[in-house]
Chain A
Amino acid sequence: MPGKLKVKIVAGRHLPVMDRASDLTDAFVEVKFGNTTFKTDVYLKSLNPQWNSEWFKFEVDDEDLQDEPLQITVLDHDTYSANDAIGKVYIDIDPLLYSEAATVISGWFPIYDTIHGIRGEINVIVKVDLFNDLNRFRQSSCGVKFFCTTSIPKCYRAVIIHGFVEELVVNEDPEYQWIDRIRTPRASNEARQRLISLMSGELQRKIGLKVLEMRGNAVVGYLQCFDLEGESGLVVRAIGTACTLDKLSSPAAFLPACNSPSKEMKEIPFNEDPNPNTHSSGPSTPLKNQTYSFSPSKSYSRQSSSSDTDLSLTPKTGMGSGSAGKEGGPFKALLRQQTQSALEQREFPFFTLTAFPPGFLVHVGGVVSARSVKLLDRIHNPDEPETRDAWWAEIRQEIKSHAKALGCHAVVGYSESTSICEEVCILSASGTAAVLNPRFLQDGTVEGCLEQRLEENLPAGCGFCHIPYDELNMPFPAHLTYCYNCRKQKVPDVLFTTIDLPADAAVVGKGCLIQARLCRLKKKAQAEANATAISNLLPFMEYEVHTQLMNKLKLKGMNALFGLRIQITVGENMLMGLASATGVYLAALPTPGGIQIAGKTPNDGSYEQHISHMQKKINDTIAKNKELYEISPPEISEEVIGSPIPEPRQRSRLLRSQSESSDEVTELDLSHGKKDAFVLEIDDTDALEDVHSLLTDVPPPPGFYSCNTEIMPGINNWTSEIQMFTSVRVIRLSSLNLTNQALNKHFNDLCENLLKSLYFKLRSMIPCCLCHVNFTVSLPEDELIQVTVTAVAITFDKNQALQTTKTHVEKSLQRASTDNEELLQFPLELCSESLPSHPFPPAKEHLESASSNSGIPAAQRAVTVEKASPVGEGNFRNRSAPPCANSTVGVVRMTPLSFIPGAKITKYLGIINMFFIRETTSLREEGGVSGFLHAFIAEVFAMVRAHVAALGGNAVVSYIMKQCVFMENPNKNQAQCLINVSGDAVVFVRESDLEVVSTQQPTANCQPLCTGGEVTT
């Protein structure tokens, strides 16, 4: 019985007119939590009622607190007939359950109705009193923090990164229950919204329990998705990475006389707890996972799973894992063993993170992915979602084995997705096989000498490119060369990954968004025949998508892809593939060779001419792109080549020349026959089409760059001007005689035009970069293609950007330093660790320095003070609020990135995870489909902003629109849309404001800091 929820309804404004006679409304409010309902008085005849209610108190289990949303309904009182509902507000009170986040939710919330949209606003105050029950961790998972951000959140430090957590819950979809035939659309929509809210609460709680079992205290990279399986039910599933996070000590902890018992300090002993006790080495695997592996594989799926990997289709024969390569020497073996021991206890050594603490990522193997086609069947028993669990377990197992084949023990940047059409479902998972530094994976006692060697052996900026697999026993015939950066280790000629570009990676020039787009027609079929058809098509699609990506990468003159995301969407009569990634030129990898075109009939003169003409065009494009993206790798001087390479000169030269002229081997070859990725054979119209499509991709207009990763390589001087947006397009295909080529062209045009429109719309922000460009394709009906894009445009300072003459090392250093304190923190620790006088593990040192403040060298202290954020949160909020003269609405920024340029995130307030349904029966009157969806998305943004503002935040980071399901029936004048969004609510402070504060700091004594510390607790 450990919680008391208190709610106060203050006032309403801008209510709709409910009584036509008086043009006024008699409004009252129902407040419901669980099964308890309270009501306010009726406030007669006003559109701006002042209820000023008493505190409604709910005494509830914390389990309910986690699962249930607070439901506020505004109604119009009617003496003679039933009261009319004006609208509802659902408030997720989860952020109030962990002490570091928000303490109160208070503010104006839009009143939302699924038929009418937003109808006025209501002012609500919500508080939670939690009993300080030490046992509470056993019953629920209150206190586990959730982050959507796929890196270690900026004001935290990762003590241990435990690993993969997953869970799914299923239920019947209210929309498909028999009762739906007799109830109103509104009732049905609300039942659905409420159910999904409940299910996500439950899911989060269950994941939290798993985290606690692993002795973690947070989930990072939390990704929750809905599968609307129609008749067969509703699945809510989530994956994430369990971590033990340590709040970066606020200055209060470092300054003397400020040893107030603040929250941070209390937590340090807690975090330290697992450290010295090695008996608990490696967190216990969650029970759930074990049941997967031993459960007899119920053949629920009538269709055998067809899966397909990109990089490793070879039959693996006992290679990878344990075998140490000759080149790697004992060090590699040691590292491998250690990582292995840390990871092997986990069933799935997966990490949903895409960016890592420095030193975490040792080597990257390449992209691993798996897909499987399933036939959906009604979920018979919602309490035992075994079928779905088994499906995913199967896929994850496959991913794991692919990673092993690449000599990697872990998969990073891992994500899962589905595409459903009628009763067919494609499950997809992908990630990047990697070798990780065990330091973060388990208790840090064993590190010792290995750590040292690691730092020595891995030169900054190229270490992650070095192959993790055994050179003599390669999983696929890749073309290896000595690393162009350190010249000591082998690297592949191209690198595909799903992660963000590591902050310390040495990059030449700028990056760019690269997309591969593909459509394949498919016959309409039923059930198994349909699933078979899809399974048969999948490998071809994957192959072509990869070929396209590779060709486009070459055309850009680049050699690596980051943030790769391949989406395969299934429709009634077609399959769509869309791959997006950010291409870059990694300094460590060899220069990519060009693209050569070969004709099939060499004797035809005009044909020859045509070919050579095309070849010239391609060469020109490559040259142009190199200029555009400033790709001019430094020529390797003789001296460098000559010096410490353990390889004879002759050979290294040979390798280079090879790689430039006729790179013929790629990882793709083995998997998909003999077609060469770089030599394009024009043997039929298809191929001709391919070449043409290569050349039709128009580069963004001058002043624009785009990428789908967090940061754009080569640009580091962001201004604070950001604009997040969502754009949706639906096209209708004329269904007659569609060919694959025509379809491809339509799809290509759709995406290209969409990008062009974005560039045009955002032209006032030039020079500007579109970051985190996220395309989603869906096929809502036979002839409809829907593309949804969410991204953020950030203006950068052109003058500074022109200073590209610096060497890349300098640049990467600069970037690292401009990045957040998370990065600052690690170098600090590393250097303190290397000091013999400090034999403490990092956490311990923190504790010590916090309590005594003796062990910190002056220089270090200076640094900490420099970046110290004097905690006065309220003070900051006032500062950062823009001087909007008479407006009462504070600005809330939204971004899909994990950071806000020019600002420092000082506090995470909790996860935002919202699901909305909007329906209309007067589509024409609302401006048609465009008017309807435009208004709805604007409303969704508004509701997200309102919730963040009520939590006391001023931004949402890692924002993502996970679902936007749009259905229309113009003949009936109807449309419906479901949207699911999530992100992290934060408080940020402008860096310019921070500087002001920190210059004032010397004069300020500790008093304000102490009080600041209390505020945060």
Chain B
Amino acid sequence: MTSELDIFVGNTTLIDEDVYRLWLDGYSVSDAVALRVRSGILEQTGATAAVLQSDTMDHYRTFHMLERLLHAPPKLLHQLIFQIPPSRQALLIERYYAFDEAFVREVLGKKLSKGTKKDLDDISTKTGITLKSCRRQFDNFKRVFKVVEEMRGSLVDNIQQHFLLSDRLSRDYAAIVFFANNRFETGKKKLQYLSFGDFAFCAELMIQNWTLGAVDSQVDDMDVDLDKEFLQDLKELKVLVADKDLLDLHKSLVCTTLRGKLSVFSEMEANFKNLSRGLVNVAAKLTHNKDVRDLFVDLVEKFVEPCRSDHWPLNDVRLFLNQYSASVHSLDGFRHQALWDRYMGTLRGCLLRLYHD
């Protein structure tokens, strides 16, 4: 006796959260059944393995049918085929678009193309996330990217509107889209200590301050692209390190204020010129796409690592960066105060976030 056909259809679509998670995690039906058995559900409910198998199959089929709708969440809201309470709809969407930290770190900043998709096998092996789940997450990134790439207006709002995600998740996706679009390098070994949260934090600051939309929300607001004009202008900052007098003056201003306040004062004093050169050169290089991609590598190499090797406490880094940015206002010969603030304001935030072990 074999079961040819076995279905259950409710007027209100039944969603089992646990099975949904297993499905999202890319487990096959048999693996999912095994995992459920291990969770002790049979003892709790007195059900048999056959019942569990049938139940799991049924849920998987439902999810499979829902998947097409989940690709365009507003469709899920307006479709008539599955009657699902709004709270459940929200849960379905949110969970579907959720991603694994380990996975996102692997593809963050990579081009969301077929080529990358081919690497998913390796990522799956490396992270222990099933290939199926990797595919879903990758396709989600790509789908969101495609939809909002050319769109005007706030990136986060666009994502929220078209994918009905929570605020938190929309912000994360904004970061992913922003990184993918600008192809920031995040995979280098020296960047491995950074979490997705670190990058997302930086992305948000950069979107707020360094994109076209940051200047004037009325223009054809493109949150995904950096403000080219701004990047060009950053070359002007070079004078801060090129002009020796200016550099010395800047150093003395910072040192005077911070004397006695830093535990690593002497190290700071010794390293000031190197650090300043590093930060300003990063700015000046941002005209080239290639260097834009290396932004985080440069920041870590030129600033985070030197400080870390001298064991700067985070608070000292904060005091230094504050003073370093603020002192520029007292440099009479320097004319690009606004530009400096736009650059340094964001960079300071990013550096503080990036500065950890």
Residues of chain A touching chain B, judged by Cβ–Cβ distance below 8 Å, are 13-14, 108, 110, 118, 121, 701, 723-734, 746, 749-750, 753, 756-761, 763, 784, 786, 882, 884-889, 891-894, 927, 929-931, 933-935, 937-939, 941-942, 945-946, 966, 968
Cβ-closest 6 pairs across A and B: A730-B5, A725-B10, A730-B4, A724-B11, A937-B9, A884-B86
Query: B81 to A942, Cβ gap below 8 A?
Result: yes
The dominant DSSP class at the B interface is mixed
Measured in the bound complex, the distance between the Cα atoms of B35 and A1001 in whole Å is 57
Of the candidates B4, B46, B61, B81, which one forms a contact with A784 in the assembled complex, judged by CB atoms under 8 Å apart? B4
Let me know if A756 and B51 touch, CB within 8 A. Answer: yes
Task: With A723-B10, A726-B9, A946-B80 given, name 15 new contacts (CB 8 A).
Answer: A14-B75, A14-B78, A14-B79, A725-B10, A729-B6, A731-B1, A732-B4, A746-B1, A757-B55, A760-B55, A887-B86, A889-B80, A931-B65, A934-B7, A934-B61
Closest CB of chain B to A703's CB: distance in Å?
A: 10
A-B contact pairs, 11 of them (CB 8 A): A730-B4, A732-B2, A734-B1, A761-B14, A882-B86, A884-B86, A886-B86, A927-B64, A933-B7, A941-B11, A941-B81
Residues on A with C-beta less than 8 A from B8 are 725-727, 757-758, 761
In the complex where A757-B51, A930-B57 touch, is A935 in contact with B77 (Cβ < 8 A)? no
Give chain B residues whose Cβ lies under 8 Å from the Cβ of A945: 11, 80, 83
Tell me which residues across on chain B come within 8 A of A886, comparing CB atoms: 77, 86, 164
Query: In the bound complex, do residue B5 and residue A729 qualify as a contact, i.e. CB atoms below 8 Å apart?
Result: yes
B158 adjacent to chain A (CB < 8 Å): no
- Give every chain A residue within 8 A of B1 (Cβ-Cβ): 731-734, 746, 749-750
- Separation of A723 and B8 alpha carbons in the complex (Å): 12
CA distance in complex: A885, B93 (Å): 15
- Per the 8 Å Cβ criterion, residues 84-98 of B in contact with A are 85-86, 89
Q: With A108-B80, A927-B61, A938-B81 in contact, is A731–B2 under 8 Å at CB?
A: yes
Determine whether B192 belongs to the interface, using a CB cutoff of 8 Å to chain A: no
B9-A753 in contact (CB<8A):
no
Which residues on B sit within 8 Å (CB–CB) of A760? 45, 47, 51-52, 55
Q: Which residues of A contact B65 (CB under 8 A)?
A: 931, 934-935, 938
Closest Cβ neighbor of B76 among chain A residues: A887
Contacts of A931 in B (CB 8 A): 61, 64-65
Closest chain B residue to A935 by CB distance?
Answer: B65
Question: Is B20 close to A, CB under 8 A?
Answer: no
Closest chain B residue to A933 by CB distance?
Answer: B7
Complex Cα gap A410–B155 (Å): 73
| Cα distance A939–B82 in the bound complex, in angstroms | 8
State the CA gap A72–B351 with chains docked (Å). 64
* Contact status A888-B77, CB under 8 Å: yes
B50 touches A (CB below 8 Å): yes
Chain A residues in 8 Å Cβ range of B166: none
Chain A residues with CB under 8 Å of B14's CB are 723, 761
B48 contacts chain A at the CB level, 8 A cutoff: yes
In the bound assembly, the distance between CA atoms of A275 and B345 in angstroms comes to 91
Mark interface residues in B245-256 (1 if CB within 8 Å of A CB, else 0): 000000000000
- Residue B28 interfacial (CB < 8 Å): no
Q: Is the CB of A892 within 8 A of B83?
A: yes
Contact of B78 with A118 in the complex, beta carbons under 8 Å: no
Closest to B7 in A: A934
Given A749-B1, A753-B50, residue A727 in contact with residue B7 (CB < 8 A): yes
Tell whether, in the assembled complex, residue B7 and residue A939 are in contact, meaning their CB atoms are under 8 Å apart. Answer: no
A733 neighbours in B (Cβ, 8 Å): 1
Q: Are B46 and A701 in contact (CB under 8 A)?
A: yes
Q: Which residue of B lies closest to A746 (CB)?
A: B1
With A and B bound together, what is the CA distance between A784 and B51 in angstroms?
A: 20
Q: How far is the CB of A986 from chain B (nearest CB, A)?
A: 15
Asked whether, in the complex, the Cβ of B9 is within 8 Å of the Cβ of A938, the reply is: yes
Of A110, A786, A888, which one neighbours B81 at CB under 8 angstroms? A110
Known A734-B1, A937-B7: A723·B12 in contact at CB below 8 Å? yes
Are A887 and B89 in contact, CB atoms less than 8 angstroms apart? yes
The docked-state distance in angstroms from the alpha carbon of A723 to that of B75 is 24
CA distance A595 to B166 in the complex (A): 62
CA distance A521 to B75 in the complex (A): 50
A938 cross-chain contacts in B, Cβ below 8 A: 9, 13, 65, 81-82
* A775 CB to nearest B CB, Å: 14
Tell yes or no: B181 within 8 A of A by CB: no
Chain B neighbourhood of A927, CB < 8 A: 61, 64
Type the 1/0 row for B157-197, where 1 means its CB is closer than 8 Å to any CB of A: 00000001000000000000000000000000000000000
**For the complex, is B3 an interface residue (Cβ under 8 Å from A)?**
yes
B323 contacts chain A at the CB level, 8 A cutoff: no
Query: Inside 8 A of B78's CB, which chain A residues have their CB?
Result: 13-14, 887-889
- Distance to closest chain A CB from B177 (angstroms): 23
Say yes or no: is B54 at the interface (Cβ < 8 Å to chain A): yes
Which residues from chain B contact A723 at a C-beta distance below 8 Å? 10-12, 14
B247 to chain A, nearest CB (A): 56
B4→A731 contact, CB < 8 A: yes
Q: What's the nearest-Cβ distance from chain B to residue A996, in Å?
A: 22
Which B residues lie within 8 Å of A784 (CB)?
A: 4
Q: Which of B58-79 contact A (CB under 8 A)?
A: 58, 61-62, 64-65, 75, 77-79
Give the residue name and chain of the B residue nearest to A884 (CB).
B86
B residues less than 8 Å from A110 (CB atoms) = 80-81
How far, in angstroms, from A726 to B46 measured CA to CA in the complex? Answer: 23
Cα A933 to Cα B164 with chains together (Å): 30
With both chains docked as a complex, state the minimum distance between the C-beta of A278 and any C-beta of chain B, in angstroms.
48
Which residues on A sit within 8 Å (CB–CB) of B12?
723
> How far does the Cβ of A926 sit from chain B's closest Cβ, in whole Å?
10
Q: Specify the chain B residue showing the minimal Cβ separation from A970.
A: B4
CB distance from A1017 to the nearest CB of B (A): 30
Residues of B with C-beta under 8 A to A724: 10-11
Task: State how many angstroms separate the Cβ of B94 from the closest Cβ of chain A.
Answer: 14
A888-B14 Cα distance, complex, nearest whole Å: 20
The complex places the Cα of A816 from the Cα of B164 at a distance, in Å, of 47
Q: Are B2 and A934 in contact (CB under 8 A)?
A: no
Contact assessment for B80 and A725 in the assembled complex, using a CB-CB cutoff below 8 Å: no
Give the contacting residue for B61; candidates A753, A756, A930; CB below 8 A.
A930
Do residues B3 and A731 form an inter-chain contact, with CB atoms below 8 A?
Answer: yes
> Bound complex: CA of A758 vs CA of B8, how far in Å?
8
- Nearest B residue (CB) for A109: B80
Whole-angstrom distance between the alpha carbons of A931 and B80 in the complex? 18
Chain B residue numbers with a CB within 8 Å of A734 are: 1
Q: Which residues from B are CB-within-8-Å of A746?
A: 1
Complex contact A930–B5 (CB within 8 A): yes
Interface centre among A746, A761, A945, A966 (most CB of B within 10 A): A761
- On whether the beta carbons of B86 and A753 are closer than 8 Å, the reply is no
